[in-house]
Structure 1
């Protein structure tokens, strides 16, 4: 249902099973994936506790847990983070350095990890440092991270954003930016207000981009495919403007291009991969190479308002 379908209730504190830790949550992230679960786009069995990103202090540890202790600062991504306490498999918790605040650390878990795999792996290494990457929606959310990470990894980046988010977009360090008019009441820009494809081709001297990172969905499909360079890859990971409609594979024949629709779970398959991504992100945060904007933190009782705010498109950073 809509955001008002969320209900607040009192439930027993979760018990801690073998191999689990109990986290007293300080923050829980609000992500578009949460709205997809709530609306039924990505259906889950009802009822369920929302959220899949949180962090705080370990309050208890279960049998068999050796590398996590009570009092440790941790962040995690498992279902059920919209709660005061969450039982989390110890293999899923990520250590939070003292130099990183908990609100920033929680922001890393879904959006940061997603941005990391999008810019480092999902493009199947069809792009090399020094080549162009197009990142939609750099004025906030996951792609604010992705643009910065792409620059850290040596790519040239074109970012798109709403005119009202100019300052945030410019702070990402993109080599070029395309600004669109606002689309009031939506979580994306008016992509018909500017000929974005023409701008991309002008910026890249007609070559196009070797990778396109697109979390907007339906509204940017044509521009994303059209912006590809020869043997480039269209990485579609979100549906902010609506689901990407089915289209014929022959659309990719003109430039022998590729398309993929990845998900975070497949890029965090085990603890080693989780720690690799987390440690790299935390290192960039500590060094100052990566900067995170925390937009707003809502009280747990106001989670529905947090969903409405995220879906309105007004945010310019992480919503908690």
Structure 2
């Protein structure tokens, strides 16, 4: 009998790749989705906004991976958008918690996403899982912190619970990388803001392997940073990307005020500095396929 994994947010950037990798590793995969028909996987209907979920969903699973949440990097942060970013995470997690509390299931482990945004802008100070969350007036920190607190009741039920604080996920299918690569391709690439801010990145395949290892190995418990061991400054990142794409960097830096004009508050994602430690994950024996930035970028742009 193969083990069954239920994924929320299974059609997003990480979920799509993770589902493929789980299938390759011999698991059965089902998705919780608001529009169940659009997938090649078995799917159960849920609607966190209206507090409804197919009662067969949680009893199906041996493991649950919770990724569901409205993207922080799409669309300006209007008040409505910010509410959606917060409630999409908390609502889905609350729904899972409610179902798990009913019993009548055999879920052994919940692996839930969070984000390194929880640390706020920490300049060049190396932050670890022990570093307290930034104050709640930092929107991204507040979202990640509330999301982690929402998972706590599951741990209290005695279900092994792992939280992965995900860094900047590198993929050419979505996320932060394509918008950074586009101007470089057009010979308009430049470091953003001061360029000194740290970017704690991770290759899409490595973050998926991390989730699978957290699911498989019972010693994983609590919070882990999902970042590669070698964070770089935005300037170094931009230079490496230009080099991999065989393009010169011709422009000076894009000033912070310009980014704020274009992106509004969302510019925090690019301008905040987060130098995040991968020591705890390395301590589990996890081996990164892409510990260094250049090979990670080459995996996407090396053939062009």
- TM-score (structure 1 length as normaliser): 0.32
Q: Determine which structure has the larger helix proportion and give its number.
A: 2
TM-score computed with the length of structure 2 as normaliser = 0.33
